[in-house]
Structure 1
Amino acid sequence: MTNAVKLGFGPLSAPAKGSLVVFCDDGLKFGPATRKLIGAAADLVQRAAKSERFTGKAGSSLDLIHPEGLKVARLLVAGIGKRSELKDFVRLGGAVMGKLPKAASEATFVAELPDGPLDAQQAADLAQGARLRAYTFDRYKTRRTNDDAKGDKRSLTVAVADVAAARRAYGAREAVIDGVLMARDLVNEPANVLYPAEFARRTGVLKKAGVAVEVFDVKAMEKLGMNALLGVGQGSAHGSRMVVMRWNGGKKGEAPVAFIGKGVCFDTGGISIKPAASMEDMKGDMAGAACVVGLMQALAARKARVNAVGLVGLVENMPDGNAQRPGDIVKSMSGQTIEIINTDAEGRLVLADVVWYAAQRFKPKFMIDLATLTGAIIVALGQEYAGMFANNDELSARLTTAGEETGEKVWRMPLAAEYDKMIDSKFADVKNTGGSRWGGAITAAQFIKRFVDDKIPWAHLDIAGTGFDSRQNDVNRSWGSGWGVRLLDRLVADHYER
């Protein structure tokens, strides 16, 4: 099963067991409540700090086992550096959680800094970071260490000045955390378990939160004319699916916001088969779809005051006698014809039909698609930023701000007619690659743009570098990151709720 810490809030008091975490600045100064709480152990900290050369700088810690004068088994002193420079309490919570061993099954964080107690919002952020960091995915391990087993039962209490206020502040954050962890679970699953029909089945859990879920099978998509999507999956034994999820938390009849996810449950490259090295990572080629599902869970669980739709196109790209070939021409749902140059440029084909369907059916306020689309975006941006392409400056600016606030950063990339010419086809309306290595992430975005109504604000997020096997950080040590859930939830909360 997935390890996740059980979290609660309590008053500013010393626990009788487990681990106690307190914070100091780079002058080894504690807050007044913390100083009173640890009592004589404060002198022990001073002595140990001198011998260990611990100065309280940001990211450092001092670990004391069975500290004299306290009943706890461990006292962890976490340095924050200069108080004026501490802004990100989510990251702080994750960093400190990472310093506790799994064997530390019970822990208490004293939510106080040298200048006084954290407010309810800061304490809730601290708790959020700790829960995100505590996640692990080990449900398929049959041989587990004692520490792994203890990790299943970890509990954390955040000691705060105002327990009721902290609980209220944490409520919305808990919904978002659960959405992130749901997305991580989906990305981490192996492809023999999570094929398109099973992925679609798992979205049914959203109904408990009030989300309406529709699943379209191959026959239903054939009737809609989704030949671009269906062409990708026609070489697989597992039939393709499209899932439409609707949360109606806004005004009745008001246009929704729309999120679309690429859900390639496994990508061999098809006939244009990938090299064997690291192909196992292609189980994560549905990270965009996983994000959309996690986001819909988060919005519904926190009762977001917005109408939102999430759509995911679910396929498996396999090579067999029925697989799509380079040179094939397919007719998309939009009526545009597509020449297949490379069957490994499959995600954009899936998005072409789903984006078009979303626009025609829902006429949303905006559309954002997420896809682990191109290796080219990793070459350009590494694993620190997702590539963002947009036809609307306001939406782009809002996404950029939400990225800075959540740490899920985006960097705007260009769209231009000059790049569009690279995907003109001699035999069809458009071809699915630009025909060279240059500007690969851009031509992929230009391809999707051909299926977007320019009257609708739209952004494409290429999350190939952030969706899985990404740069690990203080709030994520998982292969599947759940990237995008916090970003898009913040976007909605800040700008689109009534």
Structure 2
Amino acid sequence: MTHPVPIHFRPVDLDQLPHLPGRIAVLADTAKSLSAGLRRLDRLTKGAILRFLNSEAFGRLKPGEAVELAWPAGLLAEAVQIIRLPRRADVAQARKAGGAIGRALSPSGTTVLVEGHAMAAEIAFGTAMRAYDFSAHKTGERKEAGPVQFMAANPEALAVAAAPGAAVAEGVFFTRDLVNEPANILTTYDFAARLAAMQELGLDVEILEEEQLAKMGMGALLGVGQGSESPSKVVVMQWHGGEKGAAPFALIGKGVVFDTGGISIKPAAGMEDMTMDMGGAGVVAGVMRTLALRKAKANVVGLVGLVENMPDGRAQRPGDVVRTMKGDTVEVINTDAEGRLVLADVLWYAQERFKPVGMINLATLTGAIIIALGHENTGVFSNNDDLCNAFLKAAKAEGEGAWRMPMGDAYDAKLKSRIADMMNVGGRDGGAITAAQFLQRFVKPETPWCHLDIAGTALLKSDSMLAPKGATGWGVMALNRLIREKFEGK
């Protein structure tokens, strides 16, 4: 898997500056207030730093944005990257600054002169997050980033402050790798094996196979995958970091490793992106990895339903009726509305077995949520204001866009079937909402629950502040924070 770029923390040594190769990144607030490092660089470059800080170009920079001075006189370095960052920067500005650094790491090495900046740990986190590069399937010479060192006034304290962020970045990268992988690599077999390998981190991992799922009555989930050569699976990951015997918090993810739409087949254009239809399961896996790496003091269980939605002679047909683990029957109107069928059985199983204190499911569930919210926000649906508000607060603190959507009986009525207990779709209008209403039918009234529709945020066609084009890992940061603040007491 891809690991975050190693960042080393060193004491400030301004005498090294003339001899450093690669790129030197420095933080600047105003031309009137220069740090010791900026003053030294200004002398070495015969006033080039101060001239730039007094220019209109620097004045136009927003906090966290950067400009490079290439091959500055008086330095061995190939460039000095100047990042505008207020001394009292907030978390988002500091991570943006780190993102600017991570986007431009040099193969010859990068030195970041943070000195005593209060947000140095967040800058380091942003640097690691943006330096991600998924290149597992590229051949030829790779230009990997050289050594990255942060020169800080107190490097030992900075290393301690940055450690939790390193665990989060590792979880985000695990999620991104899963979402970016092509479906001929990330089969249900391979996905389950990658999750099983996390036992070495202290997670308890079980893989439930089709025969077991059939005995438990998971007819909805099994119906989705019956047209594929790859067997359907449910993987259960448990982290026991809290009070012994206490009920866990549950995370449930949709893991459709490839979605053709089944017999209700999707258009060819853009179908290649359906390798990301396991994004919900990928986020659950990334959160569980983060919790294990940072030894979270909470009990959390992550469950993912792994299937492939393919059309063949055994595939589920429109008009079929399946029986869920709960016992309810579903008329399958559209085989491309398969994710909710997977989640229905896994949600019910999670409640029956673990009786969680609450649960959140994640899924790249509907195109309708992209029409509603674009790619800036995940759609949030919930039956519990306390859990929903806690999640929205955590998402806002981490800079991960999330917006609560409505639910109600009028939407639920659209799922009425003539021949079964319900249909799996309720028409085009309000499609993201009726999908949430379907899922709520498999949530017990006493269980606090949120449904996160990440169809618009799991994978982007352009760069973002902390990620290159492709998988974002959206949700790992917010869910990790939610668990820390709501279930760990800090």
Residues 26 and 112 in structure 2, CA contact (< 8 A), matched pair in contact too:
yes
- Which position in structure 2 is the counterpart of 1:124? 121
Cα drift, residue 74 of structure 1: 2.3
- Equivalent-residue separation in structure 2 for 1:43 and 1:405 (angstroms): 39
Q: Give deviations 1:150-197, integer Å, cap 9, x for gaps.
A: 32x432111212111111111111111000000000001100111111
Displacement of 1:64 after TM fit?
A: 2.6
21-30 or 193-202, larger mean C-alpha shift: 21-30
The question of whether the paired residues in 2 share the 8 Å contact of 1:258 and 1:368 is answered with yes
- Tell me how far 1:234 sits from its aligned partner: 0.2
Q: What is the alpha-carbon distance in structure 1 between the residues aligned to residue 481 and residue 265 of structure 2?
A: 38
Q: Quick one: distance in 1 between partners of 2:453 and 2:211?
A: 30
Show the counterpart of 2:386: 394
Q: Is the partner of 2:183 in helix, strand or coil?
A: coil
* Partner SS state of residue 176, structure 1: helix
In structure 2, which of residues 97, 106, 110 is the aligned counterpart of residue 107 of structure 1?
110
* TM superposition shift of 1:53: 3.8
SS at match of 1:387: strand
Q: Which residue of 1 aligns with 2:367?
A: 375
Aligned to 1:35: 39
Q: Tell me the equivalent position of 1:136.
A: 133
CA distance in 2, matches of 1:257, 1:38: 53
SS in 2 for 1:54: helix
Aligned residue type for 1:76: Q
Find the residue that maps to 1:47 and give its secondary structure. Answer: helix
Specify the SS of the correspondent of 1:455: coil
Partner deviation per Cα, 1:267-307 (whole Å, 9 max, x = no partner)? 00000000000000001000000000010000010000000
Q: Which residue of 2 aligns with 1:17?
A: 20
* 1:97 corresponds to which of 102, 114, 122: 102
Corresponding residue of 1:497: 488
RMSD (Å) for aligned C-alpha atoms: 1.9
Amino acid at match of 1:123: A
Q: 1:407 deviation in Å?
A: 1.1
Q: Is residue 384–residue 471 contact of structure 1 (8 Å, CA) maintained in 2?
A: no
Please report how far the alpha carbon of residue 326 of structure 1 lies from its aligned counterpart in structure 2 after TM superposition: 0.7
What CA distance in whole angstroms lies between the structure 1 residues aligned with 2:112 and 2:73? 19
Q: CA–CA distance in 2 between the matches of 1:243 and 1:43? A: 60
The match for 1:363 is 355
2:455 equivalent to 1:464: yes
Unpaired runs of at least 5, structure 2: none
Question: Cα–Cα, structure 1 residues 11 and 39, in superposed 2: closer, same or farther, change >3 Å?
Answer: farther
**Do the aligned partners of 1:3 and 1:136 also contact (CA within 8 Å) in 2?**
no
* Aligned-partner SS, 2:143: helix
CA contact (8 A) 1:187 1:284 kept: yes
| Distance in 2, Cα, partners of 1:176 & 1:103 | 24
Trace 1:54-69 onto structure 2 (pairs within 5 A): 54-55=58-59, 57-58=61-62, 59-69=64-74
Q: Counterpart amino acid of 2:28? A: C
Corresponding residue for residue 454 of structure 1: 445
Tell me the distance in 2 between the aligned counterparts of 1:30 and 1:96. Answer: 20
The residue aligned with 2:326 is: 334
Determine if the alignment matches structure 1 residue 280 to structure 2 residue 277.
no
User: What residue is the counterpart of 1:269 in the other structure?
Assistant: 261
> Structure 2: how far apart are the matches of 1:232 and 1:60?
46
Asked whether the equivalents of residues 178 and 298 of structure 1 are also in contact (C-alpha less than 8 Å), the reply is yes
1:20 corresponds to which letter in structure 2? I
Alignment partner of 1:479 out of 445, 470, 481: 470
User: What's the CA shift string for 1:88-141, capped at 9, x where partnerless?
Assistant: 22222012322x2x54431111114xxxx223xx21111111011011111111
Q: Which deviates the most, 191-200 or 20-29?
A: 20-29
Aligned equivalents of 1:280 and 1:365: distance in 2?
38
Shift of the 444–248 alpha-carbon distance from structure 1 to 2, 3 Å rule, reads same
- Mapped partners of 1:331, 1:184: distance in 2: 34
Partners of 2:25 and 2:337 in 1: CA distance:
49
Q: TM-score if structure 2 supplies the norm length? A: 0.94
Shift of 1:48: 4.8
- The answer to whether the Cα contact below 8 Å between 1:268 and 1:318 also exists between their aligned partners in 2 is yes
In 2, are the aligned partners of 1:376 and 1:439 still within 8 Å (CA)? yes
User: In the aligned structure 2, how far is the partner of 1:64 from the partner of 1:370?
Assistant: 44
Aligned equivalent of 1:7: 7
**Among residues 74, 79, 82, which one is paired with 1:77 in the alignment?**
82
Contact 1:262 1:287 in 2 (8 A): yes
Q: Report the alpha carbon displacement of residue 70 of structure 1 after superposing the two structures with TM.
A: 3.6
Post-superposition offset of 1:83: 4.8
Q: Would the aligned equivalents of 2:42 and 2:48 in 1 still touch at CA under 8 Å?
A: no
